[in-house]
């Protein structure tokens, strides 16, 4: 009886192993069903909502939409954003807040999208870049407004 059980269990073991092997064999002879991507030779196009890093949009006249309201800075959980503002004097003699520099620390950013959701003027957005490795950490601290850029006409 013991021997019969033993032989039976060996037989069961081998058959279920073969069943598994049959599937391995199936994929071996159907290489089209294999889905490996040949990165970095072939780069995937990422969807437009992919959160890679925060960037500021500029138009062709080098104008941005950031009013310097610091809503994004307050929304950010990690103090990733530092908005430096200045006061401009408008022609009618009033003081007006304007963006001086927009500092962004990519190394601190968790890509949570809260700053972008908070911005009232859609000045910033997520870019689809993802290869962020650099040799020096300092290179990850970025200034998002382009030099010499100014506020777009009509954005309050």
Six-digit token string for 75: 């929304």
- Residue ranges with strand state E in 24-123: 53-56, 63-64, 81-89, 95-105
DSSP 3-state of 13: helix
Residue 121 binding another protein, by CB under 8 A: no
Q: Which of residues 46-105 bind another protein (CB under 8 A)?
A: 46-47, 49-51, 75-77
Six-digit token string for 35: 């889905």
Site string for ligand SF4, 43-82 (x = CB under 6 A): -----------x-----------xxxxxxx--xx-x-xx-
Binding site for another protein (CB under 8 A): 9, 12-13, 15-17, 19-20, 23-24, 35, 46-47, 49-51, 75-77, 110-114, 117-118, 126
């Amino acid at each position: 009886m013991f021997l019969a059980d033993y032989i039976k269990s060996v037989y069961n073991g081998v058959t279920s192993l073969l069943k598994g092997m049959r599937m391995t064999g199936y994929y071996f002879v159907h290489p089209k069903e294999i889905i490996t991507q040949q990165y970095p030779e072939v780069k995937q196009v990422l969807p437009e909502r992919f959160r890679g890093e925060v960037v500021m949009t500029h138009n062709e006249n080098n104008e941005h939409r950031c009013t310097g309201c610091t809503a994004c800075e307050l929304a950010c959980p990690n103090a990733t954003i530092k908005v430096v503002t200045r006061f401009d004097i408008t022609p009618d003699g009033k003081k007006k807040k304007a963006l001086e520099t927009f500092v962004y620390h990519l190394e601190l950013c968790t890509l949570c999208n809260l700053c972008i959701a908070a911005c009232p003027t859609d000045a910033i957005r997520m870019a689809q870049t993802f290869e962020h490795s650099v040799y020096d950490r300092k290179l990850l601290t970025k200034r998002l407004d382009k030099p010499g850029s100014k506020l777009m006409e009509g954005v309050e």
